[in-house]
Chains A and B, each alone.
Chain A
Amino acid sequence: NAGVMQNPRHLVRRRGQEARLRCSPMKGHSHVYWYRQLPEEGLKFMVYLQKENIIDESGMPKERFSAEFPKEGPSILRIQQVVRGDSAAYFCASSLQGTSSSPSDTQYFGPGTRLTVL
């Protein structure tokens, strides 16, 4: 009964490079959420996706960041031309029911990807 999988766990990039973070939701979950955690802070919502659809990307920076959740394969969070301020832990979560659910729809988190930009 695998949980949410994320890879890589750690990613080091130089300024200007691209970062690709992958997330496979729990079995049976089709709702994926990405959050960012800066050091010593709580998580901040970035984007919510269902298969082949971006439902809400209001927490995503307008430039350089994009996300997808294709019909087949994991969800991808892509950061182009990374800068030092992108250094953070990026968490993916998945849930069973999504937007139309009651508040009890629990989001289960993956182990996170720690991005370091040199």
Chain B
Amino acid sequence: AQKITQTQPGMFVQEKEAVTLDCTYDTSDPSYGLFWYKQPSSGEMIFLIYQGSYDQQNATEGRYSLNFQKARKSANLVISASQLGDSAMYFCAMREGGSYKLIFGSGTRLLVRP
């Protein structure tokens, strides 16, 4: 069965430092996509980054990169040079190839300290 696990309910990071948010997943489908979304205190869900199961390279989008370790079934989000505006909930989600449902983890609340 599909499952997404985020084991860090909350994390702190100092401004300008890098931080890694963990995500592990479980699926038997060889074709799948992994997504990260940011939910600031205002409540909207903002798409950050996508990684496909067949992608050879780790995805990067500006200060966001995805540390994709397929054998370990992990897709950790790395945020470099943290900013105060990065304080938010972060959700990892997965979608199998033949499906349209996004399965979400329980989220990690990140707090960036000045």
Contacts and interface: CB of A to CB of B under 8 A. Distances in A.
A89 B43 contact: yes
A54 B47 CA distance: 25
A112 B100 contact: no
Contacts of B99: 99
Interface string A12-43: 00000000000000000001010100001111
Nearest to B105: A42
A74 interface: no
Given A42-B91, A42-B106, A103 B44 contact: no
B91 A106 contact: no
Interface size class of B (residues with CB under 8 A): 20 to 34
Contacts of B32: 103
B25 interface: no
Nearest to A108: B47
Given A42-B104, A43-B91, A103-B95, A111 B33 contact: no
B100 A31 contact: yes
A98 B19 CA distance: 33
Contact of A102 (B46, B52, B101): B52
- Size band of the interface chain A makes with B: 20 to 34
B19 to A, nearest CB: 20
Interface string A37-59: 00011111100100000011001
Given A45-B102, A114-B43, 18 more contacts: A33-B100, A48-B100, A98-B100, A99-B100, A102-B31, A103-B32, A103-B52, A103-B53, A103-B96, A105-B95, A105-B100, A106-B35, A107-B35, A109-B46, A110-B44, A111-B44, A112-B43, A112-B45
Interface of B: 4, 31-33, 35, 37, 42-47, 50, 52-53, 91, 93, 95-107
Interface of A: 31, 33, 35, 40-45, 48, 55-56, 59, 89, 91, 93, 95, 98-99, 102-112, 114
